[in-house]
Amino acid sequence: MENLGPAVTKLLEELNPFAVLGKGAAPGVELAKNAVVLTNYSFFLIVAVALTAIFFLIASRRMTLVPKGIGNIGEWGVEFVRNNIVLDVMGSEGVKYLPFIVTVFFAVLFNDFLGLIPGMKPGTGTLGTTFAWGIMVFVVYNWVGIKKHGLWKYLKSFLPAGTPLVLAPFIYLLEVISHVLRPFTLGVRLYANMYAGHIVLGIFGIFVVMAAAALGPVTAVVAGLSLAMQIVMYAFEVFVAFIQAYVFAILTAVYMNGAIHAGEH
Amino acid sequence: MDKIIPLTSELLVSLVSFAVLFVVMWKFALPPITKMLDERADKIKDSLEKAEETRVEAERLLNEYKEQLAEARLESSRVIEQGRKVAETMKDEIVAKANEERESILARAREEIQGEKRVALAELQASVADLSVAVAGRIIGSTLSASDHAALIEKYVAEVGSLNEN
């Protein structure tokens, strides 16, 4: 067991992005922040996004009054987001933002799921993606708020009605900070869940391999238990993948709803 | 700290990918799906409303039919009763008529028999007269004159006629 440390280090290194296209395209090569490359995460992100688009394009061409097959699955997905996220959080007013929220939900979901296939990575397993989408949500919901109320009124709405004048600057600053933090919390939450999930699966994988290689009655039991744990954790990761997509989409809806109803509370 | 600064190319790739996916979903994939969801919701609502209407209508018809059935039952028993009465009347009439006819046939037959009997008796009278004259002639061995004949016949006929009256 003396090589557990190096194995874990190797696992962590393997989770770092590397370029598959562009300068320095090889596993393990550290990338400059501004390098013009396509990373392995970006590659699988494009695959997942393409699969999402293809799936929904096919589903949307298979619409029948009595739902069946792939059309039924696509419909069920859209209906789930519409009823359980958009209508629940935003009410009927939110229906016009359905395309955005559906895209957010399924982009995250397909990426999370793709990363669970051995040998592939989740596009959402890198901060580049999760921060970008967090910032995008931030821009979109603020834009919705400004468009609805006008810039001045929207900015004013950050200050709750009836705040004592003395406290106003302090409260306002807090509100602004809480808004500015949103894209980062969105990004980090998703990234950390994917990252941690893959580490857990990787660690149990290492246990299985190392314990099995040690060839002993005790290590055989350890290997078996680790394998069982890995299967359980894999199922759990499928659940996490769904939950994270749900959380990302529902927070997007909550932020948008807040922007639409800015100044009403 | 370095770890939490994202790669610029990853940011760009994910933003562009999302934008493309969003346009595809918004313009091409979602409209048919949401249209179908709405259509189905409308259709189900319509169907439920129609089903309710049909149910009410069916109930109304059922009551109507029940009433009609009860009426028909009443009517049919009335018709049967009437039929029975008519049949009975007809039976009585037929029986009466048959009796009448029988009587008239019998009467006619009786009359005919009487007539025939009368004719037969008349014929018999004549034969008996002739025969009696012939027999008497032979017994007394002489022939009577024509005037004797006539007197004898008249006397005999008068006797037979008195017999016939009984």
Q: Which one-letter amino acid corresponds to residue B44?
A: I
Residues B5, A56: C-beta atoms closer than 8 Å: no
User: Which of A20-34, A141-155, A225-239 comes out lowest in average pLDDT?
Assistant: A20-34
Q: How many CB pairs under 8 A join A and B?
A: 137
In a domain, A265, yes or no: no
User: Which of A5-14, A45-54, B65-74 comes out lowest in average pLDDT?
Assistant: A5-14
> pLDDT digit string (tens) for B103-154?
999 999 999 999 999 999 999 888 888 888 777 777 776 666 777 777 877 8
In a domain, A24, yes or no: yes
Res B1: pLDDT = 52
How far is it, in rounded angstroms, from Cα B140 to Cα B155? Answer: 18
Res A45: pLDDT = 95
* B73 exposure class (CB count in 10 Å sphere: 0-12, 13-18, 19+): exposed
Return the percentage of chain A with pLDDT > 70, whole number.
99
Is pLDDT of A93 > 70? yes
Is pLDDT of A119 > 90? no
Is pLDDT of A54 > 80? yes
Percent helix, strand and coil across chain A, each to the nearest 5: 75, 5, 20
Q: What is the pTM of this model?
A: 0.74
| pLDDT tier, A164 (very low <50, low <70, confident <90, very high otherwise) | confident
Residues A99, B30: C-beta atoms closer than 8 Å: yes
From chain B, pick out residues whose CB is under 8 angstroms from the CB of A74.
Answer: 29, 33
Average pLDDT in the A55-77 region? 90
How far is it, in rounded angstroms, from Cα B112 to Cα B70? Answer: 62
> pLDDT digit string (tens) for B68-108?
999 999 999 999 999 999 999 999 999 999 999 999 999 99
Residue of A93 and B144 predicted with greater confidence:
A93
What is the residue-averaged pLDDT of chain A? 90
In a domain, A136, yes or no: yes
Residues A49, B21: C-beta atoms closer than 8 Å: yes
Is pLDDT of A104 > 70? yes
User: Which of A113-122, A157-166, A198-207, B18-27 comes out lowest in average pLDDT?
Assistant: A157-166
Lookup result for tokens 């874990």 = A8
Residue of A263 and B93 predicted with greater confidence:
B93
In a domain, A134, yes or no: yes
From the centroid of its chain, how far is CA A252? Answer: 12
> pLDDT digit string (tens) for A207-223?
888 888 887 888 888 88
Q: Is A212 on the interface with B (CB under 8 A)?
A: no
Chain B residues 7-46 with a CB less than 8 Å from chain A: 7-15, 17-18, 20-22, 24-26, 28-37, 39-40, 43
Chain A residues 57-116 with a CB less than 8 Å from chain B: 57, 59-61, 63-65, 67, 74-75, 78-79, 82, 98-100, 102-103, 106-107
Average pLDDT in the A101-126 region? 94
| pLDDT tier, A2 (very low <50, low <70, confident <90, very high otherwise) | low
User: Which of A39-48, A100-109, B2-11 comes out lowest in average pLDDT?
Assistant: B2-11
Residue numbers of the domain that contains A99: 4-260
DSSP string covering B20-83: HHHHIIIIIIHHHHHHHHHHHHHHHHHHHHHHHHHHHHHHHHHHHHHHHHHHHHHHHHHHHHHH
Residue of A50 and A67 predicted with greater confidence:
A50
Residues A39, B10: C-beta atoms closer than 8 Å: yes
In a domain, A59, yes or no: yes
Number of domains in chain A: 1
Average pLDDT in the A235-254 region? 96
Give the CB-side neighbour count of residue A94, counting CA atoms within 13 A. 27
ipTM: 0.90
DSSP character at residue A37: E
